[in-house]
Amino acid sequence: MVGHIVGLGDRHGENILFDSATGDCVHVDFSCLFDRGLLLDKPEVVPFRLTQNMIDGLGITGYEGVFLKVCEITLSVLRSHKETLMTVLETFIHDPLVEWTKSNKSSGGEVQNPHAQRAITNIEARLQGVLVGVKASPSLPLSVEGQARRLIAEAVSLSNLGKMYIWWMPWF
């Protein structure tokens, strides 16, 4: 859920590691942050990857049990601390990623940053429950539960997975 909110793509088994001492998840490779996955040759059309082999690892309840509840709790916490999160992320407007500054310099040397502004706008919308970056028309904000269920539905969609990710293993 956190990855979806900040537009983190390219999440797969090699980019999400587990700390064997604590059981914590450790994310690596942040090259597809702020919706860059939507600009790939084969755009990421899912909010996060949730393939059959991942679902199998969740046990008998699949994504309808603990996984769904944790997604709802995480979205709820993110929404309740929206101001703090946005304060941290808004620094990218004033101190943008290097790649954002390469093509957006104004004549006065000050960086005009449409990429950062678009990223911040998308994050704010997601924190309000609006579906951004998934196959959906503009929508009204969803409840935490509705947003979690809709994101999971998009993530497990065979149609979506089949369009972008050859190793989603449909034969499972």
Q: Where are the domains of the chain?
A: 2-167
| Report for 7-16, 98-107, 137-146: range of highest mean pLDDT | 137-146
What is d(CA 67, CA 59) in angstroms, rounded to the nearest whole number?
10
Task: Name the E strands within 7-164.
Answer: 16-18, 25-27
**Tens-digit pLDDT profile for residues 105-157:** 554 444 456 777 888 899 999 999 998 876 655 578 999 999 999 999 998 98
Q: Tokens in use for 77?
A: 């916490």
What is d(CA 170, CA 148) in angstroms, rounded to the nearest whole number?
23
Going by pLDDT thresholds of 50, 70 and 90, the confidence category of residue 167 is low
Structure confidence at residue 46 (pLDDT): 85
104 has pLDDT over 60: no
User: Which CATH code fits 2-167?
Assistant: 1.10.1070.11
Determine contact, residues 26/17, Cβ cutoff 8 Å.
Answer: yes
Determine contact, residues 170/158, Cβ cutoff 8 Å.
Answer: yes
Give the predicted TM-score (pTM) of the model: 0.80
Query: Quick one: which of 90, 92, 112 has its CA closest to 101?
Result: 112
Query: Quick one: which of 47, 59, 43 has its CA closest to 1?
Result: 47
Q: Which residue has the higher pLDDT, 104 or 86?
A: 86
